[in-house]
Amino acid sequence: MLYEVSEVAPRLFLTSGVAVTESAVRERGVTLVVNAAKELPACPLGEGVRVVKVSVEDSPGANLYRHFEVRYEFIFGYTPAQFSARI
């Protein structure tokens, strides 16, 4: 389960930090990775893949809301031509 990558919606994947590898990203056609693990660095994942770092504490009380607007604009700010690949 730790190395599992789940497609939670069309073109939207959720996984643990250890499962994010260049090959896993390439196999799924991912072009944008939002790294929300405070303890993990934003590592490059190959050509054509943007990595955005959001430092969020891994706890039930973490305030995720303050990150939504900025990340939403980043993700959906692409034009349809730029957004043709998967997130």
3-27 confidence digits (pLDDT tens): 788 888 888 888 887 888 899 999 9
For residue 5, list its beta bridge partners: 15
According to the model, what pLDDT value does residue 79 have? 46
The SS3 assignment for 22 reads helix
Per-residue pLDDT of 26-76, as tens digits, reads 999 998 888 887 787 778 888 999 888 887 777 888 887 776 665 555 666
pLDDT band at 80, cuts 50/70/90? very low
Q: Which two tokens stand for residue 24?
A: 């896993």
According to the model, what pLDDT value does residue 87 have? 45
Domains in the chain with CATH codes: 5-76 (3.90.190.10)
According to the model, what pLDDT value does residue 8 have? 87
Going by C-alpha positions, the residue among 45, 38, 39, 37 that lies closest to residue 20 is 45
Q: Are 85 and 31 in contact (CB under 8 A)?
A: yes
In Å, the largest CA–CA distance within the chain is 38
Helix residue ranges per DSSP H, the chain: 22-28, 65-76
